[in-house]
Amino acid sequence: MSEQVKTYLKTHREQNLARLNEFLSIPSVSTTSAHKDDVLKAGEFVRDYLNEIGFDKVEIKETGGHPLVYGEWIGNPDAPTALFYGHYDVQPAEPLELWDSEPFEPEIRNGRLYARGASDDKGQVFMHLAVFEAYMKTEGKLPVNVKVIIEGEEEIGSANLYPFLKDNRDLLKADFALVSDSGMVETGQPTMLYGLKGFTGLEVTLTGPKRDLHSGLYGGAVKNPAMALAQLLAGMKGENEKVLVPGFYDGIEHLDEEERRLMNEAPGEDYKRSLGIPETTPEEGFTVNEHTMARPTFEVNGIFGGYQGEGTKTIIPSTATAKLTCRLVPGQDPDEIQNLLADYMKKHAPKGVHVNVKREPLSARAYKVDPKHPLIQSAAACLSSAFGKDTVFVRLGGSIPVVESFDQLYGIPVVLLGFGTPEDNLHAPNESFPVDHFNLGIEVLADYYNECASVDPS
C-alpha cells in the first residue's frame, strides 16, 4: 500500500478508537427482543459510516428479523471483487455482575479494550471500515472492488441471511469472500484458519407433575424431572467425552497422522492456568488440539429446573430443561445430527416424564478450504509481515454459518482473517480486544486488500 495510506492510518489511530467506542456503546444484543431498537441503531452506525466513506448503494435491508447493511464500491472494473462479511450484533452481556467495567461503556485497561463486541465482531468489522476510509480519503479509490454485507443476527444463527444471500446472487456476486470474525491461537501469533466447525442445537424439556410438588408427600410416587434429565444426558455422553448417541460419528473424516501432527504443533492456550480447571478433558484417543479443531462436540449450554434461590425448598420440580448444541465436522449433516439427538431423547427419556424437544432452526455445515490457495497464502504473508512472525495454519472449533453459505451458494473461496485472541472472553463477561491487534490488524487488511488486486482468485 502507499505511504499516504500508511500515514493516514497511523495518524488516525485515536480517531478510529474513539469512533469504535461509539459503535461498542450500542447494546445490540440480538437474542432478546428488548434490544431490537439497539440492534437497528448499530446497523445505522454501519450504514452512516459506509455513506461517509463514499460507498454506493448503501442501504439497511429488511430481512424479516434484524436488518442487514449493504454497500459497495465497484469503481475498478479490472480488479477482482471482494465480498466482506461481518456482524454488528452481539451476545447478551449477562451475568452483568461479573464484568469489571460496564459491557457497553468501552474502557481500555492494560492495552485491552473491554466491551461486549470488542472482539466479536464489532471491533473487527470496524477495522475493515477504517481501511476503506483510509484508501478513499487518500487515493480516492479502493485497490479492489468491495461489496460489504454486515448483518445483525449472527449471534442468533443468521436465520435470515441465507435467504437473502440466495435471493441476491447478482447483487453479491464476487470473486472471493473475506470474513474477520475469528482469532489467533495466541496473542501476537498470526494464524490462518482453513476450517470451521458446523453447528446444530436443540432444547429438551422433561415434564413430570404439572406443578411443583412437596418432596416429602410425593417423593416415591413420581419421577423427578431434574433427575430424569441428568439420567438422560448422562446416557448421551460418556465421562471419556465420547458421544454415545448411535450414529453421531458416522461418516466423519478420518484424521491422518500428518494433519494430527500439524494440529498438535499449533501453540495452544495453557488451559489449566488461564481457565483454572484441574485438567483438560479431550475425547478419549485425541489430544485437546485435535478435539477442539477437528472432532465434533456435544455441549450443555444451560440447564435449569426447580428452585434456584437462597436456602432450601423441598420440592420435586415440575420441569427440567437443557439447552444443547453440537459443533460439527466435515461429513456430518446438521439436520441428520439434530434428528439423531431428538429421536434419542424421545426414545430414551426415563419413564414417568413427558419429553418435549424444541429444535433450533438454525444450523451450519462444517467448512474447510485448501490452505495452499493463493488468496490464503497471500493473506498469511500479510499477517506474517505485519506481526513479524510466521503464520500458523489451523482449524477452528467455532462456527461461522455464513462461511458455509458462501461456499455452498456462490462457490467462492472464503478467507478467514481473524484478529481475536484466546484471552478475549468471547460470549462471556469482560470481553476485550488487544489495542495492538486492532492497529496491526488494520495494517494487515490495508496490505491485503492491496495484494488481492494482483491475485487470481479463481
Kindly state whether residue 276 participates in binding its own copies, applying the rule CB under 8 A: yes
Q: Inter-axis angle of helices 435-452 and 3-11, to 10 degrees?
A: 160
Contact map string, positions 243 to 272, toward its own copies, x by CB under 8 A: --------------------------x-x-
Would you say 448 and 176 are in contact if contact means Cβ atoms under 8 Å apart?
no
Residue in 190, 195, 209, 413 binding its own copies, rule: CB under 8 A:
209
Closest contact distance (angstroms) between CB of 67 and its own copies is: 18
Question: Closer to its own copies at the Cβ: 281 or 458?
Answer: 281
Handedness of CA 407, 410, 416, 420 (dihedral sign): negative
Question: Closer to its own copies at the Cβ: 89 or 175?
Answer: 89
Phi/psi of residue 315, each to 5°? Answer: -120, 160
Kindly state whether residue 233 participates in binding its own copies, applying the rule CB under 8 A: yes
Residue in 231, 356, 377, 439 binding its own copies, rule: CB under 8 A:
231
| Residue 253, all three cell numbers | 473424516
Contacts of 300 (CB under 8 A, 6+ apart): 233, 322, 323, 324
- Candidates 100-108, 294-302, 384-392, 444-452; binding stretch for its own copies (CB under 8 A): 294-302
Site for its own copies in 179-198 (CB under 8 A): 183, 197
Question: Closer to its own copies at the Cβ: 325 or 405?
Answer: 325
First to last CA, the chain: 23
**Dist CA 451 CA 1 (whole Å):** 8
Kindly state whether residue 199 participates in binding its own copies, applying the rule CB under 8 A: yes
**Dist CA 212 CA 305 (whole Å):** 10
Q: Inter-axis angle of helices 36-53 and 122-139, to 10 degrees?
A: 20
- Candidates 126-134, 170-178, 233-241, 432-440; binding stretch for its own copies (CB under 8 A): 233-241
Kindly state whether residue 230 participates in binding its own copies, applying the rule CB under 8 A: yes
Contact map string, positions 72 to 111, toward its own copies, x by CB under 8 A: -------------------xx-x---x-------------
Closest contact distance (angstroms) between CB of 237 and its own copies is: 6
Question: Closer to its own copies at the Cβ: 110 or 308?
Answer: 308
Number of neighbouring beta carbons within 10 Å of residue 390: 10
**Dist CA 387 CA 18 (whole Å):** 24
Closest contact distance (angstroms) between CB of 212 and its own copies is: 4
Kindly state whether residue 212 participates in binding its own copies, applying the rule CB under 8 A: yes
Site for its own copies in 394-423 (CB under 8 A): 396-399, 422
Kindly state whether residue 28 participates in binding its own copies, applying the rule CB under 8 A: no
Residue in 332, 338, 425, 432 binding its own copies, rule: CB under 8 A:
425
DSSP-derived secondary structure for 23-52: HHTS--BSSSGGGHHHHHHHHHHHHHHHHH
Closest contact distance (angstroms) between CB of 268 and its own copies is: 8
| Residue 208, all three cell numbers | 413430570
Closest contact distance (angstroms) between CB of 433 and its own copies is: 14
Closest contact distance (angstroms) between CB of 317 and its own copies is: 7
**Dist CA 270 CA 4 (whole Å):** 41
Residue position matching grid coordinates 488481492: 452
How many residues belong to the site for its own copies (CB under 8 A)? 102
Segment holding 207, helix H or strand E: strand 198-207
Kindly state whether residue 159 participates in binding its own copies, applying the rule CB under 8 A: no
Closest contact distance (angstroms) between CB of 98 and its own copies is: 7
Question: Closer to its own copies at the Cβ: 112 or 197?
Answer: 197
Residue in 152, 201, 413, 441 binding its own copies, rule: CB under 8 A:
201
Query: Closest Cα partner for 393 from 163, 189, 157, 92?
Result: 189
Question: Closer to its own copies at the Cβ: 148 or 417?
Answer: 417
Kindly state whether residue 309 participates in binding its own copies, applying the rule CB under 8 A: yes
Contacts of 285 (CB under 8 A, 6+ apart): none
Phi/psi of residue 394, each to 5°? Answer: -140, 170
Kindly state whether residue 211 participates in binding its own copies, applying the rule CB under 8 A: yes
Kindly state whether residue 31 participates in binding its own copies, applying the rule CB under 8 A: yes
**Dist CA 431 CA 56 (whole Å):** 33
User: What's the residue count for the chain?
Assistant: 458
Question: Closer to its own copies at the Cβ: 1 or 206?
Answer: 206
Kindly state whether residue 350 participates in binding its own copies, applying the rule CB under 8 A: yes
**Dist CA 23 CA 130 (whole Å):** 13
Segment holding 57, helix H or strand E: strand 56-61
Question: Closer to its own copies at the Cβ: 276 or 388?
Answer: 276
Would you say 101 and 114 are in contact if contact means Cβ atoms under 8 Å apart?
yes
